[in-house]
Structure 1
Amino acid sequence: MSSEENIRLIAGDAELTVTPGNGCRISSFRVAGTELLRQGERYGCFPMVPWCGRTGNGRFRSGGVEHRLPVNDPPHAIHGTGRDTAWRTARTGRAEAVFTCELGEPWPYTGLVTQTFALNEDSLTLQLGVETYDDSFPAQAGWHPWFLRHAFPDGKGARLDFVPDWQEERGPDYLPTGRRIGPMPGPWDDCFGMEDGVDVTLTWPERLELTVKSRTEWVVVYDEQEEAICVEPQSGPPNGLNTHPRLVTPIDPLEISTTWSWRRPA
């Protein structure tokens, strides 16, 4: 199937549009007709793979070899290559779909990424898998949703609720220093740790409550813009290729999932 064809999933009054030709991002997510994601070709919700957030100065080491990545957020490389790639549609149904993309230049290793979407009437589960074709390599995976702060124009802006166990101290270069500190007040462009797994709730008062959960420990929260709030579960902290390398090997792929669930207040 052409990667340029958008895929629409439906379950109950929930509707999801995936745009494989633009980084396999969710370009639209509606509940009962209300759009919950910021619109635009850079927004929606995109996969971060094969790294998440910033990789310091666009450099990382694997074994004794230093690799350089394109510096697309000077002086760093940010959010991986998956969001800039046209993905292949592998399988679709009324409420689920599977997409793949090949890893390669400018990423220095070859492999395959698979992203799966499963929509239900009150939840959405996303999965990412990263496999290698040959050499082992460090990698990360996660998602970067842009939830609309003011999804309901006649209602109040979204409220963010979560209880992290720690915050990764952010240096002046916007990279974690390696020090864990107590959670600081926002606004944030920061990584937090949750030992029992990511559990973050967005509430549009009197309208909708949406919870983002994942078994991973790390979540980046970005709420410095008035338009949107980003809640980004990911398999490691920013600059994790250097500080928390998770090796993808021929017998051990990297796998991560997240579930968004929602309910209307009684």
Structure 2
Amino acid sequence: MSIDKDTQPAPQAAGVSLAAGDTELTVHPDNGCRIGSFRVGGMELLRQGAAYGCFPMVPWCGRIDHGRFRSGGVLHQMSVNDPPHALHGTGRDLRWRTARASATQAAFTYDLADTAAPWPYPGLVTQLVELAGDGRSLTLTLGVEASGDSFPAQAGWHPWFVRYLGAADGEGGGSGAQVQLDFTAEWQEERGEDHLPTGRRIVPKPGPWDDCFGMPRGVAVTVTWPGRLELKITSRAEWVVVYDEQAEAVCVEPQSGPPNGLNTLPRLVTPIDPLEISTTWSWRPLA
């Protein structure tokens, strides 16, 4: 696999396109394996731009405290890309390999030891993108495998849904139907001034949010653009981050653990126990 030494997201190339019914999407393996476009009935649901779309967060989600985490007795320092913390993993900064692709499914991989954004342990990450034959649901699956020593890891997704559906080119300008979010969480992780969970679980507060919520029976969030489209996000994962502080977009991020979870709630990946997480988006038109 050709390696790009620059770890900044590259301009979006043509990508791998999937289509069914009136739904079409494009995955950009050269730009962190993100979904760069997701159109239903001709309407773009994702904020456009090389840093947006929907990207996988792996091998960690959200922030790591000052970019440091321990595995056993070893302290590791990751690149601090959101000072003073390390943010959203390394996978979004890399060029992934397309393992296979058809009209409605595609699989992508990258090596955790990729020198463009190294992780201290060898292993493999896989993303499977599956569009239902009727074009009414999309399932995303991430797998993290260890090929040597065990290590803590997380995985999840960071979609940027447009706030106004029907705005020109998915830029999220103030036209079209404004998004509404509906979900019920058992708790909210209290967020400290450093944007990391304090360890206290509190009663969920009203938005706006840049917060992590606990859903021990599985993530279930409804994203609605009144009169246009209803989209349900579900996952067996128990954590979701909701971010709606920007005027252009809102984010609903199912993930396998809370921010800074490599330190506070480590989930070990071993050669016989990989990490796997899936999320399904399903939708229906309202017009």
Normalization by structure 2: what TM-score?
A: 0.90
Does 1:221 find its partner at 2:235? no
Give, in whole Å, the separation in 2 of the partners of 1:122 and 1:5. Answer: 24
Give, in whole Å, the separation in 2 of the partners of 1:26 and 1:129. Answer: 17
Letter in 1 for 2:122: T
Give, in whole Å, the separation in 2 of the partners of 1:217 and 1:250. Answer: 24
Correspondence for 1:239: 260
- Pick closer, same or farther for the CA change 1:66–1:2 going to 2, 3 Å: closer
Size of the alignment, in residue pairs?
266
Q: Residues 109-120 of structure 1 correspond to what in structure 2 (within 5 A)?
A: 109-120=121-132
Correspondence for 1:141: 155
CA contact (8 A) 1:52 1:141 kept: yes
CA contact (8 A) 1:2 1:88 kept: no
Q: Tell me by how many angstroms 1:265 deviates.
A: 2.3
Letter in 1 for 2:165: A
Give, in whole Å, the separation in 2 of the partners of 1:99 and 1:122. Answer: 22
Q: Tell me by how many angstroms 1:185 deviates.
A: 1.0
Q: Tell me by how many angstroms 1:264 deviates.
A: 1.3
Q: Tell me by how many angstroms 1:5 deviates.
A: 5.4
Query: 1:139-170 CA deviation, whole Å, 9 max, x = no partner?
Result: 00000000001122453200010011100000
Q: 2:100 aligns with which of 82, 85, 91?
A: 91
CA contact (8 A) 2:217 2:238 kept: yes
Q: 2:16 aligns with which of 7, 10, 15?
A: 7
Flag structure 1 segments of 5+ consecutive residues without an equivalent: none
Letter in 2 for 1:233: P
Give, in whole Å, the separation in 1 of the partners of 2:120 and 2:211. Answer: 28
Correspondence for 2:29: 20
Q: Tell me by how many angstroms 1:2 deviates.
A: 8.5
Give, in whole Å, the separation in 2 of the partners of 1:6 and 1:72. Answer: 26
CA contact (8 A) 2:177 2:228 kept: no
Give, in whole Å, the separation in 2 of the partners of 1:262 and 1:27. Answer: 18
CA RMSD of aligned residues (A): 1.4
Does 1:60 find its partner at 2:92? no
SS in 1 for 2:177: coil
SS in 2 for 1:57: helix
CA contact (8 A) 2:188 2:205 kept: yes
Q: Tell me by how many angstroms 1:253 deviates.
A: 0.1
- Pick closer, same or farther for the CA change 1:196–1:76 going to 2, 3 Å: same
Letter in 2 for 1:44: G
Where has structure 1 moved over 3 Å in runs of 4 or more? 1-5
Correspondence for 1:100: 109
Normalization by structure 1: what TM-score?
A: 0.97
Q: Tell me by how many angstroms 1:39 deviates.
A: 0.4
CA contact (8 A) 2:185 2:215 kept: yes
Q: Residues 169-180 of structure 1 correspond to what in structure 2 (within 5 A)?
A: 169-180=190-201
Query: 1:11-51 CA deviation, whole Å, 9 max, x = no partner?
Result: 11100100000000000000011100000000000000000
Seq. identity, %: 71
Give, in whole Å, the separation in 2 of the partners of 1:265 and 1:21. Answer: 35
Query: 1:47-101 CA deviation, whole Å, 9 max, x = no partner?
Result: 0000000000000000011000000000000000000010000000000000000
Give, in whole Å, the separation in 2 of the partners of 1:2 and 1:20. Answer: 12
Give, in whole Å, the separation in 1 of the partners of 2:31 and 2:98. Answer: 12
Flag structure 2 segments of 5+ consecutive residues without an equivalent: 4-12, 168-174
Give, in whole Å, the separation in 1 of the partners of 2:164 and 2:228. Answer: 11
Letter in 1 for 2:90: T
Correspondence for 1:205: 226
Letter in 1 for 2:153: A
Give, in whole Å, the separation in 2 of the partners of 1:85 and 1:155. Answer: 34
Q: 2:276 aligns with which of 249, 252, 255?
A: 255
